[in-house]
Every structure is written in C-alpha cells, then in structure tokens.
Amino acid sequence: MKKKVSRNNVVPVVVDVKNPAANYSWSSHHPSIDLRRTPIGEYDHAKRIHSIFKKTALAFVSLLLVLIAFEGVRLFSVKDALKKSGEQIGENFSNSVHSLQNLEPEKASATLEQNGKNIAQLDQLLKNNHAIGFLNLLGDIIPAFKESGSLIQHVASLNLNFLNLSNATEDLKKNGFHNFQSDGPAFLSELRGMQTSIANINSEAQAVKNATSNLRKLSSSFDTIDDAIGKRYLENSASLYKANSFLGSLITILNSDNTRHFLVLFQNPSEIRPGGGFIGSYADISIRNGQMQNIDVRDIYDPDGQFFEKIVPPYQLQTITQNWGARDANWFFDFPTSAKTVINFLELSKMYSENGVTFDGAIAVNIPVIQSMLEATGPIYLPDYDLTIDQNNFLTEVQREVEAGKDKKAGQPKKILKVLAPLLLEKMKALDSNSQNIFLKKLGEHVAKKDIMFYAKDDSLASFLKQSDVDGSVFDIPSNFLGSYLAVVDANVAGGKTDALINQSVDANINIDTSGAVLTDLTVTRVHNGGDKKDPWWNSKNQDFIQILTDPGSALISMKGNSIKLEKPKFNYDSNGYDENADLQAIDNSTTAIPEFNAWVMNEFNKTAFGTWFNVEPRKTGVLTLRYHNDNTSLTPPTTGSTYTFVYEKQSGVSTKLSATIAAPIGFVWEETGTPTYTYSNDDPDGRVILTLKLAKQ
C-alpha cells in the first residue's frame, strides 16, 4: 500500500542521469538552472567561491569602514592644525621668494629655517595621530593615498632645497664679486650650486603639487593645504624654470676656454639720449673660465675713429653729425634695441673686427650707480690729478677734467676714468659685509629706477632679463587693453650738459568715456637751473627733442609751448652710398609731419609717438601742453567690474615727477576710492609704474 505524501514536502529536482550520486540539495533554492551554460559541478564550485569571497569582502569592508571611521575621527581632530600649518608653510615660501628677489638671502634663510621647524611639527602631528601610517595603509588599495602619504616628505625636501638656494645666493652675494675677479672656478661653482638647487626645487614642487592635487580629489578639506603649499609655491615655478635656463646659458658662456667680452656702457645723464645718457665712455670686460681677465676703459671715440661704415644717423642728429657711430647709437627708448645697435657698431669698428672680438652682452650704468659705489668705498685719492673723488663731486670734477683738463689737451679726455676704475673695483672687493649689504640694497633700487639695464644676445638670457624687468625694454601692450600707456622721452641735441640741471614734471589728466575711448591732457614742465654756473657746459640752452609715447592709434588734437628749430639742409645720403639701420628705418618710414603743430607722429615699438622740439633757456621754465585722443574702437564698452590699467615708463637717467588723474566714465566710480577720479602722484617713480583700477556703478 502506497503512503500518501503531503504536496508541501515535495521538492522537484532535475537530476543528471550521468551523475545521479551528486548532491542536489542546493537546487531547491533555485527554481531553474540553465544546463546549457554551466555544468552542474562547475556551477556548484563557482558559487561556493563567490559565496566565500562575498563573505570575506564584506568582512574586510566592514573592518575597513571601522578603521576609516576610527582614523577619520583622528584626521578630523587635526584638520585645523593641518590647515594652520599649511598656511604658515605656504606663507613662508612666498616670503622667501620675495626676499631672494630683493637680494636678501639672509632673510630668506631665516624664514626657511623656521619653515623647517613648522614642517617637522606638522610631520610629528600627523605621526602622533597615525595619519601617515593610515594613508600609507590605504595606499595599497587607493594609489592616490599612497602618493599623498609622502606629502610631508616632499614639502620637507622642497624646503631644504630652497634653503640650499638661499645659502648659495648668500654665498654669491658675499663672495661672488671677489671670486669673479680672482677665482673663476669658485665663481662657477657658486652658479652651479644655485642651478642644482633650482632644478631640485622644480622637481620637488611638482611632487608636492601632485600629492596635494590627489588629496583634493579625496576630500575638499585638503583644499587649504593645496592652496597654501602647492599653489603658493607653484605660482613662482615659471620664474624658477627660466632662472634655471638663465643660469645654464650664463655658465656656458662664462665657462669657456675662449675669452668672452661684455660691455659696460657708462651713460652720462647730463646729456640725455632716448636709451639713457650719452655714452661718453665704456669698459670692455674680458672673461675666461668664469674669471674676469681684464677691464679696458675706453673713450667711445676710440672705436668710432676706426668705424668706417656709412650709416644714416637719426634725422634729429643730422644737424650735429654726418655719420652715425656708437657714441649716438643708444637712440632708442627700448634699451635692448639701443644695446644691440651699440654692439653692432663696435663690432664693425676695425679696433675690434680685426681681432675678431664680439660682445655677448651689455650693461648700461648711469652716474648715480658710480656715486653709490663711491659712497660705499669712501673717497678715492688720485695722485696724478691731486684730486680726491667722492660721491658728491664725482660728476662735476670728472666732467671738468674731461671737458677742460690736462688729459684733453693730450688727446685723452677720458683717461681719468681709466685711472679711477681699477682703484674703485679694488676697494669694492674689500668691502665688509655690512657695507656690501647697504650697497646691494641700493643696487636693487638703481635697477628699479633703470639706472642699470642689462642686455644679452643669448635668447635664454634675454628672455629671463625681460621677464625680470631689468632689461629696459618697452612694455608690451596686451590685446584687448582697456587703459593708457605713457612715456616721456627726451633727447639732448647740442644742449651742452644741461640735463643735469633740468627739473622735469609730467601731469596727465585722463578721461574715459562710456565707449572706452580715452582723452588725455598732458603737461610737461621743464625748469632749467643753469645759467650761473662756473663751467660753461652747464649754462647752455637745453635743446630737447621730446617724444610722447602712448597707445597705438592715438590722434593729436592740440599742442602748445613747443619750439621751432631751424635745421640745416640735409646731406644727400642716398647719392653717397649710405646704408639704413633697419630699426631706425622702420620708425622713419612711419613718420608723418603735423605742420600745424610743428610736430611729427610716428610708430615706435607698437606705440604711437608724438615728437617735437622743446627748448628751454637757462633760468627759464618751459611748459609743453598737448591733448590727444584714442577711440579704442576694438574694445567693448566698459561695464561694472571692468579693469582699467595705467602704465607709465620712465626714461633711464631722467628724474621726473609724475602726477596722473584718471576720470571714470559717466555713471561709474573707481572701486578703489569710491569716487569718479583716482589720482596717483610720485616725485621719483620707478622705471615702470602699473596702476590697475576696477570700475563700479556710481
């Protein structure tokens, strides 16, 4: 008799007839099985592995979450300390860069040493809270954590290399001048040490940036340390890369078995020219294997006397010279163009061409720099002249000796400079550290005032000098420029040495309308304080060819107070086989006369220039006024938040008092003052002044 079984206890099972002994109990949990895809034995094995992995993974994740929660509390507890430390470290980096740029490596070193302590404290803070170990543990799973775990080590290494750079700069500051004159290998070693430190800094800075960027991806709480350390340093990375390239090129030039030559152009601002003072004398510095071999001080007329190229001089100089020479070659407001022209003329002179001498670069030095050197060294006695030279009498005594001394009668008017130069350099080499620091600070001020300008033929050197604003180049106006550019450029032509006695002031009133067009009223005042001086060269009429450089496309509306100069008939240069200088020709070809104003308009270095004669008699005051307009048709009209930029560039060797009043468009005020006008005034501005103002609705 068959026993009835409850239907609830019946479980349907599909059995493989080829393997009836298999355990099929698991199949009751699965209503259907696709036997076409997975053999039952394999399916059973895979599911077991999956089950085991799932349970293990869940256990691991649970453990990991516990660790994250536990250590996350610790990380959160040090977040504020991490933020403060990161901000302080970043600020110290910025301060160190600023100190190095100001030739104050000792300040940079002190800051970086403090930075090292801050980094050590930050490292200890994280270690005490197991954060570093935790990040490294997570690094086995998430690579970003692994890289981030080494952040402090990268920051510490960055700081150490920065400290090495600061120490190398300090060493160069203390010993560089001496080593350059006496120990070339040591001088080159100092430069190589700086180059190595910069290369290491660039490498570590990128590692820091990578680490902080990855931390930002993981948590926004690390934004502050990324900004403080990564961005605050990397904003200077482009400059450091260029500095590294600069040092590489400089070392290559200096570390040569062949003698290399550099020019020092002594510019006399008593007779001003567009590129600086008149180049009455210069020094040829020869260098081999990193060491100065000789300094040969020369009268500029020595090479000009052996310069037989026939080159058309600037039109304004044709009344005083038929031929263009090195003495007048700094005719361009852009110093790299002037320096390139001077070097070209000297290299064409037989004095240098017959010996194959070329020049790798030039340094322009104005008289105030020599006066600062004499202030540092103290008075220097010249037995041959029975004369003591100091910073107060240098200009008058040397000028008197050059113009009327015994050496002029002997045909060597600049001999006094040849005698003075080695004595001055020797005393400079012996300065104590305090005097060095004082002089270097003044040297930085001279660079800012364009009393010192640097030019190099090498592209890498030239690029670095331009970026550093020490090459005296003309400002490049960017595209979509809402603003005004201004430079007042004087050129003494047959005006004696009277520029030393001229007080000049420039007053600009700039009005911007709602379309972005700019109307400028400019006043240039020149006061001649000569006329009663002992030496006649101070008492001449000051004859000035003045140029106003401004925004391209500007149009002259009016001009008053300028002079009419009667000029001699021009020499026929074409029929006498004279060549044109390409840079000068480009300006000449753009020049158009404006007869109603006795003026000219021309294009110079992507600027519009208005030129005229502006002569002032001794003990008199001359006032030149002009109005000009620029439509700025390529710009969109100014709106709230628009930025206006005023750029003023001072001429090397000319001390000018500047006042500029800028009026906002109708309906607007300047955010900086809350008023419609902004006034800037400076009795002795730097070589380049840039004012940035923002518009706001009135």
Q: How far apart are CA 64 and CA 49, in angstroms?
A: 22
Q: How far apart are CA 553 and CA 603, in angstroms?
A: 9
The contacts of residue 388 (CB under 8 Å, 6+ apart) are: 379, 380, 381, 382
Closest by Cα among 339, 294, 325 to 454 = 339
Q: How far apart are CA 312 and CA 584, in angstroms?
A: 9
pLDDT tens for 218-272 read 555 455 556 655 566 556 667 777 888 888 999 999 999 999 999 999 999 999 9
Q: What is the pLDDT of residue 169?
A: 82
H/E run at residue 523: strand 518-528
* Residue 313, both tokens: 């001089």
Which DSSP symbol is given to 355?
A: T
pTM: 0.81
Q: How far apart are CA 464 and CA 454, in angstroms?
A: 10
Residues 191, 192, 197, 199, CA torsion sign: positive
The contacts of residue 243 (CB under 8 Å, 6+ apart) are: 198, 464
* Residue 120, both tokens: 């050590």
Q: How far apart are CA 107 and CA 101, in angstroms?
A: 11
Question: Which amino acid makes up residue 299?
Answer: D
Closest by Cα among 683, 526, 501, 517 to 612 = 526
Q: What is the pLDDT of residue 615?
A: 97
> Look-up: residue for tokens 């009277």?
498
Separation of CA 497 from chain center: 33
Question: Which amino acid makes up residue 679?
Answer: T
* Residue 275, both tokens: 């590129």
> Look-up: residue for tokens 């991806």?
217
* Residue 10, both tokens: 């019946």
The contacts of residue 486 (CB under 8 Å, 6+ apart) are: 506, 508, 520, 522, 548, 549, 550, 646, 647, 648, 649, 660
Beta-bridge mates of residue 215: none
Rama region for 207: left / alpha / beta (φ>0; ψ in -120 to 50; rest)? alpha
Q: What is the pLDDT of residue 143?
A: 42
CATH 3.40.50.720 fits 483-563+598-697, yes or no: no
pLDDT tens for 138-187 read 444 334 444 444 566 777 777 788 788 888 888 888 888 889 989 999 99
What DSSP string describes 149-206?
TTHHHHHHHHHHHHHHHHHHHHHHHHHHHHHHHH-HHHHHHHHHHHHHHHHHHHHHHH
Closest by Cα among 47, 147, 166 to 104 = 166
Which class for 247: exposed (0-12), middle (13-18), buried (19 or more C-beta within 10 A)? buried
Q: How far apart are CA 210 and CA 318, in angstroms?
A: 62
Q: What is the pLDDT of residue 245?
A: 87
Question: Which amino acid makes up residue 70?
Answer: F
Q: Percent of the chain beyond pLDDT 70?
A: 77
Which DSSP symbol is given to 391?
A: T
Q: How far apart are CA 657 and CA 103, in angstroms?
A: 27
Question: Which amino acid makes up residue 173?
Answer: K
Domain ranges of the chain: 59-254, 260-467, 483-563+598-697
Q: What is the pLDDT of residue 159?
A: 76
CB atoms closer than 10 angstroms to residue 344: 15
Q: Could you give the C-alpha distances from 25 to 12, 103, 359, 656, in angstroms and in order?
A: 11, 86, 97, 102
Which DSSP symbol is given to 591?
A: -
Q: Which residues of the chain have pLDDT under 50?
A: 5, 26-29, 33, 35-38, 40, 42-43, 53, 56-78, 130-149, 221
Q: How far apart are CA 503 and CA 490, in angstroms?
A: 12
Count the residues in the chain.
Answer: 698
Q: Could you give the C-alpha distances from 230 to 94, 208, 234, 671, in angstroms and in order?
A: 11, 6, 6, 31
Q: Does residue 132 sit in helix, strand or coil?
A: helix
Separation of CA 697 from chain center: 34
Q: How far apart are CA 185 and CA 60, in angstroms?
A: 62
Q: CB–CB of 377/424 below 8 Å?
A: yes
pLDDT tens for 10-43 read 555 555 555 555 555 544 445 554 544 445 454 4
Question: Which amino acid makes up residue 285?
Answer: I
Q: How far apart are CA 543 and CA 613, in angstroms?
A: 7
Separation of CA 495 from chain center: 35
Question: Which amino acid makes up residue 184?
Answer: G
